[in-house]
Amino acid sequence: AQKITQTQPGMFVQEKEAVTLDCTYDTSDPSYGLFWYKQPSSGEMIFLIYQGSYDQQNATEGRYSLNFQKARKSANLVISASQLGDSAMYFCAIPKTGGTSYGKLTFGQGTILTVHP
Amino acid sequence: NAGVTQTPKFQVLKTGQSMTLQCAQDMNHEYMSWYRQDPGMGLRLIHYSVGAGITDQGEVPNGYNVSRSTTEDFPLRLLSAAPSQTSVYFCASRKGAYNEQFFGPGTRLTVL
């Protein structure tokens, strides 16, 4: 069965500094991807970034980048130049792309990020 | 495009009542899912569908039923509400396994 783990319940960062949010996964699918979402206190889910397992370069979207290390089965989110508006809950998620349960998208437990001024 | 819509936004039920949470998407997405999120917690998958007529159970399916008769709609039925089902429910859809998932605004359900 697939498993996705976020080991940091909470993280704190100073405004304008970079922060790394950890995500490790376990999957038997030969091809897969990793998503990151943000959930501010207002409750909506906001897509941030995606990378597929066969992508050669780490994905970047503005201040967000994915540090994908397949050998370690980790796909950490790096937020550069943190802003107060980055304070939110962050989730990583992995889809089931083969075999039974094809189509499931499983989320990690989440990390609450607090940006201090 | 309206995206993913959910109704109602808020609902209060008494223990034992049944109800249906509605979910619709206008993006012609094949994949649709229902999640519940308890306070301070992550998203737990209740049921999901990879196309009309195809549904499967997620991590926490007990007490919930789904059906997918059309591509657009994916209602979630609570058979006999229990206080443990008090939660925020999110419906979501995506085009395929590797595609971004779009979420509805959520339904806040309280069971007394």
Listing DSSP states for chain B in one string gives ---EEEE-SEEEE-TT--EEEEEEESS--SEEEEEEE-TT--EEEEEEEEETTEEEE-S--TTEEE--SSSSB--EEESS--GGG-EEEEEEEESSTTSPPEE---EEEEE-
> Which residues partner with B74 through β-bridges?
none
Evaluate if residue A102 carries a pLDDT over 90: no
Contact B41, A109 (CB under 8 A): yes
Residue A20: what pLDDT? 98
Question: Number of CB pairs < 8 Å for A and B?
Answer: 60
3-state DSSP call for residue A85? helix
Could you identify the residue written with the tokens 């007394």?
B112
Evaluate if residue B48 carries a pLDDT over 80: yes
Residue A111 sits at the chain B interface (C-beta within 8 Å): no
Tell me the pLDDT of chain B averaged across its residues: 95
CB atoms within 10 A of CB B64: 19
Evaluate if residue A112 carries a pLDDT over 80: yes
Residue A64 sits at the chain B interface (C-beta within 8 Å): no
Tell me the pLDDT of chain A averaged across its residues: 93
Better-scored residue on pLDDT, A75 or A28: A75
Q: Which of A91, A106, A108 sits opposite B45 (nearest CB)?
A: A106
Alpha-carbon dihedral sign for residues B41, B46, B89, B111: negative
pLDDT digits (tens, 9 = 90+) for A6-45: 999 999 999 999 999 999 999 888 888 999 999 999 999 9
Q: B9, B47, B95, B103: best mutation site toward chain A, by most A Cβ within 10 Å? A: B103
Residue A104 sits at the chain B interface (C-beta within 8 Å): yes
Please state which of the ranges A36-40, A63-67, B15-19, B40-44 shows the lowest mean pLDDT.
B40-44
